[in-house]
């Protein structure tokens, strides 16, 4: 028997109202989500990947109850977001894309207030434990406005977990965050996941999705264009590159029908792109040798998510 999904999204669509006085195509309003369906498996780290404007925040904000969907359905931890909104909300903790805090509360107060909001009684509150988990115990009594951007982000993660939801959702947790802080947040996400929390994160960083996520859904212009285990998605990039250094100078790149692309890289360097379903690196080298070239050095580059993304969206970002 398979466990029910942590989140199930079916045919979800959102059309934002058009601004007053909009004409032509704009008068219909922006179709931000166009019939998106997927399941988030319980216990996974799930990545919702897509370029800016793809519809990621719209989807998250529908789950959060901040944006009203136009059609379709969403189910969180078995609770329908329309029929069982309260239970659905209690099952999910959301870290929004924008950081907003009252600057005059301390981290401890922020968490206590949130606990009060959820009606959690004093003895059942987890404020101290959560501050420690997000490495903010020493900032317990500092004003929120004195915290760095990274600390604020971590405080938001703690705030989202106050009611101990089984699902944590982070909307672009590392956008505009430096490398060091990004690593810290990744560690935090992995820790939470190891403790059993299902994590959904949106990102436009391929590297982040590849590093953290078990499964990835890619959306572009409001449509789901892929949803697969990360490994399989990476395997979808069929193009591979062999870079060689030759013993002789080359005037022009040698062409061959089996190669998808050949580019000169300096005087004696050559980069051959080929489809790994049709050739292997050894055959690429054999073809070069048949053409009278002497190969001195070879490296191959594995396909990564970036390649898949470009292939699927036809864009570079
Ligand atoms: P992402 O989070 O992937 O960057 P969003 O969900 O924020 O994408 O936006 C998807 C599309 O919907 C974009 O074209 C955006 O301009 C539009 N959009 C987002 N919020 C609103 C809104 N409140 N009113 C009208 N259009 C919006
Ligand atoms: Mg967004």
Indicate if the pLDDT at residue 304 is higher than 80: no
- Spatial neighbors of 243 by CB under 8 A, at least 6 apart, are 265, 269, 270, 271, 272, 298, 299, 300, 301
Q: Which of 47, 55, 63 to mutate to test the pocket of ligand 1 (most atoms within 8 A of CB)?
A: 55
Measured from the Cβ of residue 148, the count of other Cβ atoms closer than 10 Å reads 10
- Spatial neighbors of 281 by CB under 8 A, at least 6 apart, are 240, 242, 298, 300
pLDDT band at 317 (very low <50, low <70, confident <90, very high): very low
For the chain, residues classed under CATH 3.40.50.300 are 1-91+203-233
| CA atoms within a 13 Å half-sphere pointing along the CA-CB vector of 84 | 12
For atom 5 of ligand 1, which residue has the closest CA?
55
Q: Which residues approach ligand 1 with their CB closer than 6 A?
A: 16, 30, 32, 50, 52-58
Indicate if the pLDDT at residue 138 is higher than 50: yes
SS3 of residue 159 by DSSP:
helix
* pLDDT score at 316: 45
Among 142-146, 214-218, 256-260, the range of highest mean pLDDT: 214-218
- What CA dihedral angle connects 292, 295, 301 and 302, to 10 degrees? 70
| CA atoms within a 13 Å half-sphere pointing along the CA-CB vector of 192 | 32
Atom of ligand 1 nearest to the CA of 97: 2
The pTM of this model reads: 0.81
* pLDDT score at 302: 67
Share of the chain above pLDDT 90, in %: 61
Q: CATH class for domain 1-91+203-233?
A: alpha beta
Mean pLDDT (whole number) for 111-127:
92
Domain 236-313 fold: Alpha-Beta Plaits (3.30.70)
For 6-22, write each residue's pLDDT tens digit.
999 999 999 999 888 88
For the chain, residues classed under CATH 3.30.70.1560 are 236-313
């Amino acid at each position: 028997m398979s466990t029910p999904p942590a989140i199930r999204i079916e045919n979800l669509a959102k059309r934002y109202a058009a601004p007053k006085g909009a004409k032509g195509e704009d008068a219909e309003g922006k179709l931000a989500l166009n019939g998106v369906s997927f399941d988030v498996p319980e216990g996974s780290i799930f990545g919702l990947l897509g370029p800016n404007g793809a519809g990621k925040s719209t989807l998250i904000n529908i789950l959060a109850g901040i944006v009203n969907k136009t059609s379709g359905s969403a189910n969180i931890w078995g609770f329908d977001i329309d029929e069982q909104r309260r239970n659905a909300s209690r099952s999910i903790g959301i870290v929004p894309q924008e950081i907003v805090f009252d600057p005059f509360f301390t981290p401890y107060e922020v968490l206590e207030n949130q606990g009060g909001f959820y009606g959690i009684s004093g003895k059942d509150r987890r404020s101290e434990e959560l501050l420690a988990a997000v490495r903010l115990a020493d900032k317990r009594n500092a004003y929120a406005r004195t915290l760095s951007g990274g600390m604020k982000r971590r405080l938001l993660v703690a705030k989202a977990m106050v009611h101990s939801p089984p699902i944590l959702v982070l909307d672009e947790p590392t956008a505009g965050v430096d490398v060091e802080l990004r690593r810290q947040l990744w560690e935090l996400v992995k820790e939470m996941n190891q403790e059993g929390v299902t994590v959904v994160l949106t990102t436009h960083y391929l590297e982040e999705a590849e590093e953290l996520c078990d499964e990835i859904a890619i959306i572009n212009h409001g449509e789901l264009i892929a949803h697969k285990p990360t490994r399989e998605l990476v395997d979808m990039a069929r193009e591979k590159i062999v870079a060689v250094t030759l013993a002789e100078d080359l005037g022009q790149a040698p062409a061959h029908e089996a190669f998808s692309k050949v580019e000169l890289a300096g005087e004696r360097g050559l980069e051959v792109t080929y489809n790994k379903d049709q050739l292997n690196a050894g055959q690429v080298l054999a073809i070069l040798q048949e053409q009278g070239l002497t190969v001195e050095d070879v490296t191959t580059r594995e396909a990564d998510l970036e390649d898949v993304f470009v292939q699927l969206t036809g864009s570079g970002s």
